[in-house]
Amino acid sequence: MIMSKTMNDVNFGIKNELVVLEKLKKYHPSIEKKTYKYCLYDFESNSSIFELKSRRIYKDTYRDVLINTTKIECLLHHDKKGYVLFNFYDGLYKFRVTNKSLKECFFRDGGRTDRGSCEINDCCFIPTRLLKKIW
């Protein structure tokens, strides 16, 4: 059952990557999906990199959303503009990762334990009020 939950989550994410990628091509014609299994972000265009997080919630279900700090560091220090994309039931939202934008976020341990292992890591908690709706 736990493996089934993990696989359901993985498949949910992969399916949403394909849907979001096709829509993003309208705004970023050069965007491509990264195929390296351990890449810290999902998409790259000529000017930007993007990490997509698909969540089975509405944007305002919680006051903030989390993402692993390792991914934030990658998006912050890359030569290209870094974005986290959050795909919620009520739309796709973006957060531009900059030193300035991160001042409104907070960092602490976070994660989940409902898939049969402890997935607690250093995380960045982004207030949902900072997310900008794309569609």
Give me 131's structure tokens.
């997310």
Q: For all residues of the chain together, what is the average pLDDT?
A: 92
Residue 53: predicted pLDDT:
96
Q: Is the pTM value of this prediction over 0.75?
A: yes
CA geometry: angle 110, 81, 31, nearest 5 deg: 100
Residue 2: predicted pLDDT:
53
Pairing of strands 64-68, 48-54: unpaired
pLDDT in tens, 94-133: 999 999 999 999 999 998 888 888 889 999 999 999 999 9
pLDDT in tens, 77-95: 999 999 999 999 999 999 9
Asked if the 2-133 domain carries CATH number 3.40.1350, the reply is yes
Instruction: Say yes or no to pLDDT of 9 above 80.
Output: no
